[in-house]
Amino acid sequence: MTQIDPRAIVSPAAKLGSGVRIGAYAIVGDEVEIGDGCVLDEHAVVKGPARLGRNNHVFSFSVIGGDPQDLTYTGQRVSVEIGDDNEFREYSTVNRGTIKGGGVTRVGSHNLVMTHAHIAHDCQVGDRVILINGAQVAGHIIVEDYATIGAFCLLHPFVRVGRYAYIAAGTVIMKDVPPFSLVVAPREAKCYGLNRVGLERHGFPPERIQPLEQAYRYLLRSKLNTSQAIEKMKGTLAESEDVQTLIRFIESTDRGLTK
């Protein structure tokens, strides 16, 4: 049964699934579709066009579907699409897309977007991603599954963050972050090798981790340049699907690689 606090403002044009709960002073705009079991706490805002899947929780003062912060935006019809089982904590924001970026910002499922984190226009965020407090993801960024972006990180537009990567707090990211990696920035962003602890927490067995460790030795700790390291990976680690993922990511980068 849907429960709407009488002090909330819900557009008659909004579509609400079953079991939706909307708290006092929350706002749901036109062209908003909210799936079954979603919860909007007091003062939460969802603007349209926007579509939320099932069982999402939007905490107080979070804003989903705000206008893109882009000077080329002049009111075009653009949207945001969000999957299932996400949490958007207090003061987090997700902006709609822009025409030049495809018109849609997408956030997958089972993600945790912590307080004051921001997902800008045209971003494509995968599943089970964590954005820790104050993480700022600029426009046109791709964040792949299981990545973790630390507190107060700043990500430059158009970068990619590979799957299972971990970016430590306060890091400024200007280049692509390779999958499975650990990136830290005491002064400038550097890759310190494999995110081994994170992979173990996600259930990677030792026999799956070992070829990735070797791949990162070729990439970061040998005297090989990037092209030579890739050839070495192809010659000695080709049976690892994870290494193949790493190779494809490196070969498709446009902004260069954080090393």
Instruction: Please report, for residues 198, 211, 231, 235, the alpha-carbon distance to residue 226 in angstroms, rounded to integers and kept in the order given.
Output: 24, 17, 9, 14
- The residue annotated as part of the active site, out of 35, 48, 53, 139, is 139
The CA dihedral of 165, 171, 176, 180, to the nearest 10 degrees, is -10
SS3 175: coil
Round to whole Å and give the CA distance between 76 and 70: 12
Q: How far apart are CA 167 and CA 190, in angstroms?
A: 10
249 SS3 class: helix
What is the distance between the alpha carbons of residues 178 and 224, in angstroms, rounded to a whole number?
Answer: 17
Would you call 85 a catalytic residue per the annotation? no
For the question of residue 19 being annotated catalytic, the response is no
Distance from C-alpha of 190 to C-alpha of 194, rounded to nearest angstrom: 12
H runs (alpha helix) in the chain? 196-201, 206-216, 226-236, 241-251
Choose the catalytic residue: 41, 70, 84, 122: 122
Considering 53, 121, 198, 242, which one is annotated as catalytic? 121
Provide φ and ψ at 214, rounded to 5°. Answer: -65, -40
- Provide the sign of the torsion angle of the four alpha carbons 207, 211, 212, 217, taken in this order: positive
Question: Catalytic residue at 121?
Answer: yes
Catalytic residues: 121-122, 139
